[in-house]
A and B are shown apart, each in its own frame.
Chain A
Amino acid sequence: MGKISKYVILDLIRNRIVLSYLVVLLAISFSLFNLDSNPVKGILGLLNISLLIVPLVSIIFGTIYYYNSAEFIELLLTMPIKRKQIIISVYAGLAVALSVAVLLGMGIPILIYSPNATGLTLLIVSIALTWVFVSIAMLASVLTRDKAKGIGVVILLWLYFGLIYDGLLLLILFTFSDYPMEKSMVALSALNPIDLGRIYILLQLDISAIMGYTGAIYRDFLGSSIGMVFAFAMLFVWIIIPLLLCIRRFNRKDI
């Protein structure tokens, strides 16, 4: 399957949208770091890019690319190759190409201005979110036949994961503020990949504050490497599950 991925990547590294994505990321990152002499502020600015822009671009571009490649994918399907391989290849190619854009677009400025654990974490989270949201994009595209409908669906999904979900959590917290909510909060956060990525970065930026939290669960969970491993494992699950569902659907789909 590396064969198809290779050509998808070859195609995408010359794609205008991917190139503009790279340039825009570079421009935003450099300006964020230059805006203030304190690199932590740059990182905080990049955090929003990582939690909102990266998922948005990944999910929308992933969807558009899939639909635009529909005829070509159809041609590939007439070749002696398993469907699974085709879909995984297209996914891997897309995810790698967008990750390269993130790696260069955010990585170079981070390397220059904030080459530390926090910067590295931010980069890892951005790349992980890229893989997650391309995976979700693939699933959404395979499930919806119509391009416009597909794009609509993924924008809604992005809104949900990026903003609405946390709003709902906050609402739940306020409503049940008299009850111990820690366990549920940990569990609920795992249901949103963006939250997982954010927590991963919180562990870097705000460990001092997290350690002050009175609840044992947060402290044990987030304060130890278990939290890190958990957050990362869950992000991985968020890559795999939509992709598996996508493969399952794609295998049975009439083209």
Chain B
Amino acid sequence: MILDKTSIYSQGIRHIVLSLVLFFVSSQSLFSRVLRVEKNKGETISTAIARAESGDTLIIPSGNYAEPTIVVDKSLYIKGENFPVLDGQDKNEILETKANYVTITGLKFINAGRSDINDMAAIKIFNGHHVEIRSNIIEHAYFSIYLQGCTNCFIYNNFIHGVKASEMMSGNGIHCWHSDSLRIFQNNISSQRDGIYFEFVTNSLILGNFSHNNERYGLHFMFSNSDTYTSNIFQENGAGVAVMYTKNLTMLYNKFLLNWGDAAYGLLLKDISDSKIEGNTFQENTEAVHIEGSTRMEFRNNLFLSNGWAAQVQASCMDIVVTHNCFVGNSFDISTNGDLVLTKFDGNYWDKYEGYDLDRNGIGDVPYRPVGLYSVIIQKIPSALMLFRSPMTNLLDKAEKVIPGMTPVDLIDNRPLMKSMSSRYD
């Protein structure tokens, strides 16, 4: 981890040094030129690239460009004026980069081709480093931005709107595979299969993106270790955010909103270990968090507001610590499929807590059991949901609290807070 970071820094420094060198070299010897695509003379982007040299800036004037796949094989700074439209005519990929130090900005990509055999994308980045895709609009693409074998790439401020067809017909918004040290910042992604997809991607940061209304997941993580995602909003996606088979993950200050439906989660954690989930907000999801097969996880300072289930903790989990979270207005707080749950709840605020605090230290004097009787009943007989909140079932719930019989005895918060420290829901 430390070594990795150092390598990022050293690469960054190298980058700066290189830029400085280039700047001096180019300014003194006038090597670096600014070229324009001569559209009125019938020039295509591809031919303009052909006459450019590494280090040049290529300006694309506004207008429509429909040409076969544009391959950027030099270190160019490609900039659009007033969002020139690059049309894939539903048959080909629009742009591929095969060089390092490429910047693509200010372009509008539409109608990239789609194919069942290979993953066609609006922008494809192969084995590059220091490629920057900034402030572009991508519409109606199968895959929108596709990175493979990349390092130190920066995907920033793009507006991506796919075709919301069935899952099979739609690709991912930002698809990253076998990459390292990526930064995915502040993109707006919708109507794709997965908003952001990570597979075998390490040491990367996903920050401030708005991934919404995607067919499947807002964010999909597989086998991607040591990544951080923070301050993103995932809203109304088919099944929320899925994180699987991953270690050393940090999830901070994200919002998981309105992920509704059968098997819809705010956050699905499957086979995760050594990860931290802190300061997130989960609001109005069917299941805010679903954890299975995970170990050594810490949930701290999260807000669970008005969800169907705040958390479903499967018995296959170990060493999960849930502390200083705030549970408000959820239909059910915690649900589990087993009796022996190795999850430690401590010092959370539960709005369903009905205990008292005689010594006035802010901590309830009697423990709280976050798994209610009715949540157990519904786990066994889902149709019983129809009788939820009936005075009769309330009565049973109260009786169960006094003499626990069906609810897991070990699942307990011994120090429930009397007041929520969070005022975020007010």
Contacts and interface: CB of A to CB of B under 8 A. Distances in A.
A206 interface: yes
Interface stretch (A17-25, A73-81, A140-148, A170-178): A170-178
B385 A210 contact: yes
Contact of B287 (A189, A198, A212): A212
Contacts of B332: 209
Determine the interface band of chain B, counting residues with CB < 8 A from chain A. Answer: 35 or more
A51 B426 CA distance: 27
B329 interface: yes
A40 B384 contact: no
Nearest to B261: A211
Nearest to A179: B383
A244 interface: no
A201 interface: yes
Interface string B79-97: 0000000000000000000
B157 interface: no
A140 to B, nearest CB: 21
Contacts, number: 111
A201 B388 CA distance: 11
B306 A208 contact: yes
Interface stretch (B14-22, B129-137, B158-166, B389-397): B389-397
Interface of B is mostly: loop
Given A38-B351, A51-B391, A219-B262, A209 B381 contact: no
B384 A170 contact: yes
A215 B394 CA distance: 24
11 contacts: A38-B351, A40-B328, A169-B386, A182-B383, A185-B383, A206-B389, A208-B285, A208-B308, A209-B332, A209-B385, A212-B287
6 nearest interchain CB pairs? A209-B308, A212-B286, A208-B308, A166-B392, A209-B331, A166-B390
Interface of B: 260-264, 284-287, 306-309, 328-329, 331-332, 351, 380-396, 425-426
Given A198-B389, A202-B388, A208-B306, 17 more contacts: A37-B426, A38-B425, A40-B329, A51-B391, A164-B392, A166-B387, A169-B386, A170-B384, A173-B384, A177-B380, A202-B389, A208-B331, A209-B332, A209-B385, A212-B261, A218-B385, A219-B262
